[in-house]
Structure 1
Amino acid sequence: MKQTGKTIVFRADASLQMGTGHVMRCLTLADTLTASGAGCHFICRAHDGNLAAFIRQRGYQVHLLELVPGVPAQANPLAHAAWLGASMMQDAAETAALLSHLKPDWLVVDHYALDARWETPQRRHVARLMVIDDLADRQHDCDLLLDQNLGRTDADYVARVPAYCTCLLGPNYALLRPEFAALRPYSLQRRQKGALRTLLITMGGVDKDNATGHVLQALSGSSLPLDCRITVVMGATAPWLNEVTTLAETLPWPVDVQVNVSNMAQLMADADLAIGAAGSTSWERCCLGLPSIVICLAENQRFITNQLKQCGAALVLEPPNNENFPHQLSIALNSLVTQQVFLQDMSFSARNISAGNGTSLIVKTII
């Protein structure tokens, strides 16, 4: 391995409220940086549902910040302030104290509750600063910004970052693990028939509102072929895991509930259709040309779902906690079963969005 001598620190959180996506995509970047010879550390706060143990299992040192109860709302006016678990200034001070000892070449920040007011105090302790964002809703003080969402343009950030900041925008820079690009040829080749025999359901690593259970219940009114095989993927911290496992046993189709999978790319490549949440996993599905029914579970996913719908890369449904959801899902599935050309059309649209090599492009920029 070529040693770069660079030290990279990530500031990202996971919790039952925010899910696991921010930490998981940072881990993807950390793995590729480590393979390039860099040393990576994580700074996380001890939220319920944090992934500190999982990050350590992946071989990284985690510096865990304690939760601070009773933080007044005005201490952080950002839309996702409640996700931080401390005031922004306290988080900034605690992080700076760690950085003063680690002296990283790069600090990578992936957190909706942090902005330039947090980033600027870190400057004295880091050589360069990278921000991963999806929202384009706040100011940043950074050298490099990544927003991997479809439809993002320079105009979204020109007034939100310094003039010298390099912006990497769009799904061509999506942080995907290398196995997605490796399986892309196989996945695209097997979609030429457009049949629907395997269904993959992935509603996020936490799924605190049990969207997975709502989807499984709604399947009973659909015309899925009886020989269809269903795979459900959930995280170990998902609060509804036991209920979903019990419900899966009552369905007329064979349902395999898998937890904390390490072969998500293979599961997606082998699936004919996915029902899933929006977010970073959208670009994984696009890389593999996997047709999708995407369910918008939060307002901050609205931009992604609208872009996927406009491109014809997915069918989009509203959250499953409404009485019309079973009917809407049944209509969507029935159309895909009876007119399988729709699956092929979605696959062609999706595969043009991301080729899956974004992580390597970002690492080249950093290293």
Structure 2
Amino acid sequence: MRCDAGPRRGVGHLVRCLALAEEFLARGADVTVFGTVERLDWAVAELAARGIPLLPGPDSAAELVEAARRHHLDVLVLDSYELDPAGAGALRAAGVFTLAIIDGDSRGQVADLYLDQNFGAEQPSLGSGAELPAPGSGAELPAPGSGAELPGLGSGAELSGLGSRAGLPGRLLAGSGYALLRDTVISARPPVVPPATEVSRPRVLAFFGGTDAVGAAPVLTRVLVATGHPMDLTVIVGRPEIEAQVDDVAPGRGQIIRPVPPTTELPALITGADLVISAAGTSTWELCCLGAPSALVCVVDNQRESYTRVVRHGLAAGLGELSALTTAGVAGRAARATAARTLHGLLSSPQRRATLAARAWSTVDGQGRTRVVDAVLNATHPANA
């Protein structure tokens, strides 16, 4: 698996690769992660605990092929916005089965298999993963708006226009049915939808990825305080400078703010919270699987489409975009006031929280990684499928 993580990159790519790695390991495969993990001792420890070697990441197409040959790889998973897009095609040409994990944009990668785990990705729109290069043919999938439907793998249909080596048609695994979740999340999934609970001081959890690369925690902590509602707020602070800013926020009456560092106990914190505030990234699917009533903020541009779909379908409440919440002047004050009203409504209404939890829980069943590995093994070892 080829991915990177760090204070500025975040850990989303590594976390979903780790989930996929756990499934491959359970099937008897040998797994290695190639990449850079900067200033994240807990993430390195997570790999070590599973016996997964972490080796320096090859970057260029030639380096990826050389690494694949040196380590006798059958499959290489690419999960990066920064790698040379030509790497996938070069690996395929070298006989290495390639899975590209994408978020809408394929970046021109020519892979054997594409995975877009975002909710609604099986219904492509402009700029989405619908525009996937066709391996070997140079053709593209039907363009958005052409009237051609692009079925998800769950329908059993093939994607027209995607050819591949060895006569295997290329496939797009699309939608939250393929969400990649770690063992700790799957094991914490409640057997039934969490019920509505009336509490005078809700337990609130706020976290924004493993590093909070964009500094969302202090902003949302201030918005939560502005609701004026009593709460017991736990904030995951990924970096010392974030912790210092959260410490500077003065709680209101009946409010407690408790900053804590990144922890492997996050699933337990999520299931123990009455409301969770998070970024609209890969953690969205963890929240859904765990049936957590959540409010999301869109912190980077490539989350916008998924954020809009999730909020529109009622899987989580929407707090808007971080850029709007940090804007100065009248516009910024209005955005923060709107977000505070949304949060106050959730804090004061157990029924609203329960409705979000039920929709989220029923959308992500925790079996996505099983489906992805099934697809890889079906393609690479069809005789044993």
Q: What is the TM-score of this pair, normalised by structure 1? A: 0.81
What is the alpha-carbon distance in structure 2 between the residues aligned to residue 13 and residue 366 of structure 1? 22
> For residues 268 and 122 of structure 1, what CA distance do their matches in structure 2 show?
39
Q: Is the 8 A contact 1:46 1:65 kept in 2?
A: no
Alignment of 1:347-366 (within 5 A): 347-366=357-376
Q: Write out per-residue CA displacement over residues 121-154 of structure 1, whole angstroms, 9 at most, x where no aligned residue.
A: 2235453111111123532322221110111127
Cα drift, residue 211 of structure 1: 1.1
Query: 2 CA distance for matches of 1:45 and 1:91?
Result: 15
Q: Distance in 1 between matches of 2:315 and 2:244?
A: 31
Q: Summarize the Cα distance change of 1:65–1:106 in structure 2 as closer, same or farther, 3 Å threshold.
A: closer
Unaligned runs of 5+ in 1: 1-9, 67-89
Question: Do the aligned residues in 1 keep the contact of 2:214 with 2:299 (CA within 8 Å)?
Answer: no
Matched with 1:193 is: 197
Provide the secondary structure at the position in 1 that maps to 2:14: helix
**Closer, same or farther: CA 44–126 of 1 in aligned 2, 3 Å:** farther
**TM-score, normalised on structure 2?**
0.77
Deviations 1:97-134 (A, max 9, x none): 22221010100000123465221122354531111111
Counterpart for residue 342 of structure 1: 352
Q: Provide structure 2 residue ranges, at least 5 long, that are not aligned to the other structure.
A: 136-161, 163-168, 378-385
Q: How does 1:49-60 map to 2 (within 5 A)?
A: 53-54=44-45, 56-58=47-49, 59-60=51-52
Contact 2:11–2:210 (CA<8 Å) still a contact in 1? Answer: yes
* Corresponding residue of 1:63: 55
Q: Identity rate of aligned residues, in percent?
A: 26
Over 3 Å counting, the alpha-carbon distance change for 1:280 and 1:12 in structure 2 is same
| Residue identity in the other structure for 1:299 | D
1:288 alignment counterpart: 290
Aligned length: 330
- Give the secondary-structure state (helix, strand or coil) at the position aligned to 2:288: helix
Structure 2 CA distance for partners of 1:265 and 1:303, relative to 1, 3 Å: same
Q: Which amino acid aligns with 1:33?
A: F
CA contact (8 A) 2:24 2:373 kept: yes
Aligned to 1:265: 267
Q: Does 1:160 align with 2:133?
A: yes
Of 142-151 and 345-354, the range deviating more from structure 2:
345-354
Partner of 2:108: 139
CA 1:100–1:154 in structure 2 vs 1: closer, same or farther (change >3 Å)?
A: farther
Cα 1:335–1:176 shift into 2, 3 Å: same
Distance in 2, matches of 1:359 and 1:113, equals 24
Q: CA deviation at 1:159?
A: 4.3
Say which of 220, 224, 230 aligns to 1:219.
Answer: 224
Tell whether the 8 Å contact from 2:92 to 2:112 is kept in structure 1 after alignment.
no
Question: Could you tell me how far apart the structure 1 residues matched to 2:251 and 2:287 are?
Answer: 28
Counterpart contact for 1:109–1:132, Cα < 8 Å? yes
Structure 1 pair 130–154 and aligned structure 2 pair: CA distance change class (3 A): farther
Which residue matches 2:141?
A: none
Q: CA RMSD in A?
A: 2.7
Counterpart of 2:175? 170
